[in-house]
Amino acid sequence: MKSKAKHLCFLILYTLVYLVFIPHTAIAQNQKQKVLLLKIDAEIDPRTNRYTELALAEATRSGADHVLLELDTFGGALNDADEIRTRLLEFPKPVYVFINKNAASAGALISLACDSIYMAPGANIGAATVVGADGQAAPGKYQSYMRSIMRSTAEANNRDPHLAEAMVDASVDSTLSARQVITFTTSEAIKYNFCDGQANSINEVLQKLNLQDAELITYELSTTDKIISFFLNPVISGILLLLILGGLYFELQTPGIGFALVTAIVAGILYLTPYYLNGLAENWEILLFIVGLVLIGLEVLVVPGFGVTGISGIILVFLSLVLIMVNNDNFDFTFVPSGELNKSLLSVLIGMLGAVAVIVLAWNRILGSRTLNKLVLHNTFQSDEGYRSANSALHLIGKTGIAHTRMAPTGRVLIDDVLYDAQAREGFIEKGETVEVIDQSTFALRVKKAV
């Protein structure tokens, strides 16, 4: 009897275990793992920084169980690499990296932040010395900071912190450094526990992780982010710069707010917005650009003549356009990659030269276009209505008259009871002031305030 009772209890217990645990185990086995794949194959900068932020957000949203980063970079900005490193370390799911040839400098730091590292044949990792804008090693305090974060990142994933430091500074005591900054090959990285294995492809990495049957989700930028990337294209940025500078030039030639200024403002918005969203354009740099436009506007519409206000505005606009393109920290260019500042200066100068070329080569065609002709007033002003052509006004040179309208700097003057189109030689002339004719151009008299 007791034996039957024990047998019955055992059967009930077995049934309960089966009902409670076995179905969940089966479901877990049948549930497909998800792996989100992101790729970095360019310089580490605010764009790649934002890309990784968006990718990891998508991994969380889609419920990915693992993240796999395919990396091929020679490095870039330390501040952006540090933010990416922190983001990877704090991500709650496993993160793996496949170094597809290069993980130098900032790339080495990012790699160390991943739970597992796999490298392609012939790949390299290391050479993490911080360099300044001139390509030379940055001052000691920056090297000290880089050594610190390399060491702490290596420790976080059970890698040798001293070897990580030796990738930054050759003076660090290491059995391998031989007073040279360390760069590991694939086999060396495996030997010294900086790499978990060699792989020829993403699929091979997944096999080594026993994730060959997992659902692979390749992260791609959204349409909005692709549009932003489109406007970050150097060619498109150059065209926008051309429109900004060309629009400002034409606005200076034609007082008042017109089509040229509107074009410059729209191009400025399209130029600034992508850089702002990608972290390149700081608030103060955009403010610098706006202040420059305001000063130019004041010069055109309010302040007599063209002097300090207008020149200051042009300088501020030029400076802001240059600074927006480089990842400086309040004029500190220490971490700006070598040549970036020169490329930024060159881009803005090319934009300016392009604007001049458009002005010289295309202005006559623009004036003769059908579209512009629709905007041009074709009425004629007859002599019996009190108008005279400036082309036949040589006899007026030296004569005085009255400003019939405010001249800013163009307007009309009244000489011997006849109205003439005129342009102030310098400054603005208020209505009613006495003027003297000093010259004539094809379309108007040139006048100055009478002494």
Q: What is the pLDDT of residue 157?
A: 92
The CA–CA distances, whole Å, from 138 to 81, 277, 393 equal 16, 28, 68
Q: What is the pLDDT of residue 27?
A: 40
Q: Which tokens go with 267?
A: 């191009």
What is the C-alpha to C-alpha distance for residues 192 and 189, in angstroms, rounded to an integer?
Answer: 5
Residue 247: phi and psi, rounded to 5, are: -65, -40
Q: Do 268 and 297 touch, CB atoms closer than 8 A?
A: no
What is the C-alpha to C-alpha distance for residues 333 and 326, in angstroms, rounded to an integer?
Answer: 9
Q: What is the pLDDT of residue 153?
A: 95
Q: What is the pLDDT of residue 76?
A: 84
Q: What is the pLDDT of residue 119?
A: 97
Q: What CATH number matches the domain at 27-220, 1.20.1530.20, 3.40.50.80, 3.40.50.720, 3.90.226.10?
A: 3.90.226.10
Q: What is the pLDDT of residue 143?
A: 84
What is the C-alpha to C-alpha distance for residues 97 and 20, in angstroms, rounded to an integer?
Answer: 38
Fold for domain 383-449?
A: OB fold (Dihydrolipoamide Acetyltransferase, E2P) (2.40.50)
Residue 379: which residues within 8 A CB-CB, separation 6 or more?
Answer: none
Helix crossing, 340-368 with 308-324: angle to 10°? Answer: 120
Rg (CA), the chain: 34
Torsion of CA 169, 174, 179, 180, to 10 degrees: -60
Q: For 214-272, write each residue's pLDDT tens digit.
A: 999 999 877 777 777 677 666 677 678 777 777 766 666 555 556 777 887 888 788 77
Which residues is 423 bridged to in the sheet?
A: 410, 446
Spell out the domain ranges in the chain.
Answer: 27-220, 224-373, 383-449
Residues of the chain under the 50 pLDDT cut: 22-30, 375-376, 390
Q: 434: burial class by Cβ within 10 Å (0-12, 13-18, 19+)? A: middle
Give yes or no on whether 27-220 and 383-449 have one common fold.
no
Long-range contacts made by residues 387-394, C-beta under 8 angstroms, separation at least 24?
387/418, 387/419, 387/420, 388/418, 388/419, 388/420, 390/420, 390/421, 390/422, 390/440, 390/441, 390/442, 390/443, 390/444, 390/445, 391/440, 391/442, 393/420, 393/437, 393/440, 393/445, 394/440
